[in-house]
């Protein structure tokens, strides 16, 4: 492995060790010798004008078979082993290999990385009004929708579980002809009922990685872009769905449902299928989806999929998105749902726009009534108790079925409740072990009249409005203690569950979702992640006709719209906004679009107070990144922190990645710089100084480009991180024309002694009087040990 003068031997050893451990782990998990791997070779060395695209792809596939054939000693075996050749924008292949062969090919010159075909998990009517794009159902003339023509003719590609093409959210209306430069297809050879139109202009599926993980051929239901589980339909309609009036879910949240870019064209890339050991999406398919979306001509890729944060060139999403950004495609990904623990954020590559999840000002409250007490919870139940009489309330443990444990019955596991003891009663179930709606099904099967779902101590105040199969309400841990005390001290505890409703104007809002994964970035702490937050709680959007709203086999309901929560839901909100910006600023790079979204964001809630977390404490940039997205401001940010593919490749070189492989980018013209860049100097919209000690100083450099009128910008440090003095030099930037770039330095000086250790946060702003170009400041102060 050749390295430039800027590489770090220790990093290379870590990468090699990581590869070997990954290969060993794959063998152990699979339980068999052969497994699927992705062999990544970087970029293609193009000879534009010499070879046709078809001939170039054919030669690339031949080269892949030659390379693997050299390892296997048989080119025909190589042809049989390879199930994907990435031949257009990404260079590499996916194949079924023995672990020893995978380790051997990793040693070959030009091989960037070899990694297992890992599994990944899939991570509205009010959102846009909350973000000021509409008011009382009307779109004001100053809305970003009007300014950016509703995302007209921008193409948003969605890597997810497919799409339900019959949904009204993908009706073509008056979209007009499909753009001439669109190269995609509507892949329906196994599903003649699947049709595209001038709104849903393309759909493909990629299932060979899934098939390799399953170890057997897939059935015809998985040979179509048609969405089986609803996730992809929901996310794609959130990003670019057409306006649908009268949309509601279970009678709640009625209004007009539409995506962030309602007049954008959309394309679905099905890379996620039925779960295998908890994973729905596999890396070989994800990479194939990226390859196709780039070649088809999308402008924005939305990918609500997540796995563990890992080295960038061992990460299918990071690799695919790097090639997308090189082609001018903005990539937006979910931050994952492993919060609120620190260091859980994924999709952390600096060329990805990573989105956290927060609330809007809408809630769906329902009430549990007992002992003259009315406790507010959450619910989207369609069915409610009838009559005016109270019902007996029991703990699940009081209805333990023969052969079950009280612990199982307390959690209301399926089959754990005795119908003789639960019938006609309100059963109290404790959160955990199985899904929330499944607990309601357990109560329903046992003949219970209703369920009160109580949080455990870990879940605290985290409440969810779910479409339960019976009357139900979800209450907090503290309220659950009140209910438990009443049940223990009453001879015949009784109560009632009152139907939920839709409430608007809730405060505070937004509030960070407790499930939203948080920083710091465990791969590169010099880069703040997540980048932004957007609505991701109780989002109403289109749904598949193939699955119940709970996605449970016992639920026979079918709905046009459903309510989901997750960073999967916040991600497409930002994808839609990126689509608006692309429509208005066709020549902007992905980095410029990302910068506009980040620097126009707000770290304040609707009442101008700091954004809070679910525990009612002030959140930090590790929760929300630059802040909550503000679409109207993002269209006209004033200044942007721009970057090209060269900036990202310089960054990878500084990390010690294979310099020979880096040369394959930019048609073989790229060379790692002799002097490695400093990681903290990557021209990122957020600014981090990591690993400083008391009494020390660090200088971080940035450059900004004027995308507005000529003007003078003045720097203000609106908040210094605790224990840190911050100076911006120069403090004034004068721009005489659009497109002009200026550099500045941010100097961080740590107090001595430092009053705190660990991470501390602040913010700075460049302003010309009308634009507020805001960057979060993150400083890691080290202790004396």
Torsion of CA 32, 36, 37, 43, to 10 degrees: 170
Torsion angles phi and psi, residue 68, rounded to 5: -70, -35
Residue 268 in contact with residue 200, Cβ under 8 Å?
yes
In DSSP notation, 143-174 reads: SHHHHTGGGTT-EEEEEES-B-TTSGGG--TT
Q: How far apart are CA 552 and CA 562, in angstroms?
A: 14
In DSSP notation, 417-462 reads: B-HHHHTTSEEEEESBSB-HHHHHHHHHHTT-SEEEEE--TTTTT-
For 381, the token pair is 């139940």
Strand 272-276's sheet: what is its strand order? 272-276, 279-282, 119-122, 305-306
Q: Which secondary-structure segment (H or E) carries 114?
A: strand 113-116
Q: How far apart are CA 640 and CA 402, in angstroms?
A: 66
Residue 464 in contact with residue 474, Cβ under 8 Å?
yes
C-alpha separations of 359 from 63, 515, 628, 635, 751 in Å: 50, 12, 10, 23, 37
Q: How far apart are CA 121 and CA 415, in angstroms?
A: 28
Detail the DSSP E strand segments found in 437-538.
Answer: 450-454, 472-475, 494-498, 532-535
Pick the closest to residue 543 from 252, 170, 185 (CA basis): 170
Q: How far apart are CA 447 and CA 462, in angstroms?
A: 28
Contacts of 552 (CB under 8 A, 6+ apart): 435, 437, 438, 441
C-alpha separations of 647 from 208, 311, 683 in Å: 34, 18, 8
Residue 632 in contact with residue 745, Cβ under 8 Å?
no
Contacts of 362 (CB under 8 A, 6+ apart): 126, 130, 253, 502, 503, 504, 506, 538
Q: How far apart are CA 639 and CA 411, in angstroms?
A: 53
CB count within 10 Å of CB 349 equals 27
Tally of helices (H runs) and strands (E runs) in the chain = 20, 35
Contacts of 63 (CB under 8 A, 6+ apart): none
Q: How far apart are CA 182 and CA 202, in angstroms?
A: 9
Active site residues: 160, 231, 568
C-alpha separations of 747 from 328, 642, 761, 764 in Å: 33, 21, 14, 12
Q: Which residues of 654-685 are buried (b: 16+ CB within 10 A; e: fewer)?
A: bbbbbbbbbbbbbeeebebeeebbebbbbbbb
Q: How far apart are CA 550 and CA 311, in angstroms?
A: 35
Q: Which residues of 98-128 are buried (b: 16+ CB within 10 A; e: fewer)?
A: bbebbbebbeeeebbbbbbbbbbbbbbbbbb
Q: How far apart are CA 385 and CA 293, in angstroms?
A: 49
Pick the closest to residue 368 from 393, 339, 343, 386 (CA basis): 393
Contacts of 219 (CB under 8 A, 6+ apart): none
């Amino acid at each position: 492995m050749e390295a430039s003068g800027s590489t770090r031997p220790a990093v290379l050893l870590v990468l090699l060790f990581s590869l070997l451990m990954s290969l060993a782990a794959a063998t152990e998990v699979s339980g068999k010798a052969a497994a699927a791997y992705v062999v990544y070779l970087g970029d293609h060395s193009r000879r534009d004008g010499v070879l046709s695209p078809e001939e170039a792809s054919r030669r690339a596939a031949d080269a892949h078979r030659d390379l693997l054939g050299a390892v296997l000693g048989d080119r025909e075996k190589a042809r049989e082993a390879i199930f994907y050749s990435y031949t257009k924008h990404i260079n590499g292949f996916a194949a079924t290999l023995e672990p020893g062969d995978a380790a051997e090919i990793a040693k070959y010159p030009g091989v960037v990385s070899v990694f297992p075909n890992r599994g990944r998990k899939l991570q509205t009517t009010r959102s846009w009004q909350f973000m000021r794009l509409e008011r009382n159902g009307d779109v004001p003339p100053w809305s970003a929708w009007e300014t950016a023509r509703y995302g007209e003719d921008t193409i948003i590609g969605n890597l997810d579980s497919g799409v339900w093409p019959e949904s009204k959210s993908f009706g073509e209306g008056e979209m007009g002809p499909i753009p001439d430069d669109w190269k995609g297809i509507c892949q329906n050879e196994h599903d003649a009922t699947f049709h595209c139109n001038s709104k849903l202009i393309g759909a493909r599926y990629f299932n060979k990685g899934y098939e390799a993980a399953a170890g057997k051929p897939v059935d015809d239901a998985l040979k179509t872009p048609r969405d089986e589980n609803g996730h992809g339909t929901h996310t794609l309609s959130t990003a670019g769905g057409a306006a649908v009036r009268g949309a509601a879910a279970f009678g709640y949240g009625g209004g007009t449902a539409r995506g962030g870019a309602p007049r954008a064209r959309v394309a679905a890339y099905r890379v996620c299928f039925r779960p295998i050991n908890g994973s729905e999406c596999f890396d070989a398919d994800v990479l194939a989806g990226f390859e196709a979306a780039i070649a088809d001509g999308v402008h924005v890729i939305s990918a609500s999929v997540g796995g563990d944060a890992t080295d960038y060139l061992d990460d299918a999403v990071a690799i695919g998105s790097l090639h997308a950004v090189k082609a001018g495609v903005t990539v937006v990904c979910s931050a994952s749902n492993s919060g609120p623990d620190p260091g859980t954020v994924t999709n952390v590559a600096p060329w990805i726009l990573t989105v956290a999840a927060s609330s809007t000002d809408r809630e769906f409250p329902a009430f549990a009534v007992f002992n003259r007490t009315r406790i507010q919870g959450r619910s989207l139940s369609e069915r409610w108790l009838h009559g005016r009489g109270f019902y007996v309330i029991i703990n699940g443990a009081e209805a333990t079925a023969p052969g079950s444990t009280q612990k199982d019955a307390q959690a209301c596991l399926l089959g754990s409740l005795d119908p003789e003891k639960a019938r006609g009663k309100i059963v109290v179930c404790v959160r955990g072990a199985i899904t929330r709606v499944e607990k309601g099904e357990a109560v329903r099967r046992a003949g219970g009249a209703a369920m009160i779902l109580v949080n455990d101590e870990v879940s605290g105040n985290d409440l969810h409005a779910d479409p339960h199969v019976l009357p139900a309400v979800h209450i907090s841990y503290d309220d659950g203690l009140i209910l438990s005390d009443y049940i223990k001290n009453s001879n015949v505890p009784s109560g009632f569950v009152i139907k939920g409703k839709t409430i608007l104007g809730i405060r505070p809002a937004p509030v960070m979702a407790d499930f939203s994964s948080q920083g710091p970035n465990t791969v590169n702490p010099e880069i703040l992640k997540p980048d932004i937050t957007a609505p991701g709680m109780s989002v109403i959007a289109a749904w598949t006709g193939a699955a119940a709203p709970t996605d449970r086999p016992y639920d026979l309901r079918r709905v046009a719209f459903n309510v989901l929560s997750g960073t999967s839901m916040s991600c497409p909100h930002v994808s839609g906004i990126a689509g608006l910006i692309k429509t208005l600023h066709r020549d902007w790079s992905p980095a410029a679009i990302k910068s506009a979204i980040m620097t126009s964001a707000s770290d304040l809630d609707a009442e101008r107070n700091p954004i809070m977390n679910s525990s009612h404490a002030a959140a930090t940039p590790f929760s929300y990144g630059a802040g909550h997205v503000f679409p109207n401001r993002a269209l006209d940010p004033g200044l942007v922190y721009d970057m090209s593919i060269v900036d990202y490749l310089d960054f990878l070189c500084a990390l010690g990645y294979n310099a020979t492989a880096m040369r394959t980018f930019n048609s073989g013209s790229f060379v790692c710089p002799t002097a490695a860049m400093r990681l903290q100097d990557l021209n990122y919209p957020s600014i981090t100084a990591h690993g400083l000690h008391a009494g020390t100083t660090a200088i971080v450099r940035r450059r900004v480009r004027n995308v507005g009128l000529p003007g003078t910008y003045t720097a203000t440090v609106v908040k210094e991180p605790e224990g840190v003095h911050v100076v911006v030099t120069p403090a004034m930037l004068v721009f005489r024309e659009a497109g002009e770039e200026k550099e500045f330095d941010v100097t961080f000086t740590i107090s001595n002694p430092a009053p705190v250790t660990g991470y501390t946060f602040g913010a700075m702003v460049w302003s010309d009087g009308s634009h507020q170009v805001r960057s979060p400041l993150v400083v890691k102060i080290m202790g004396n040990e």
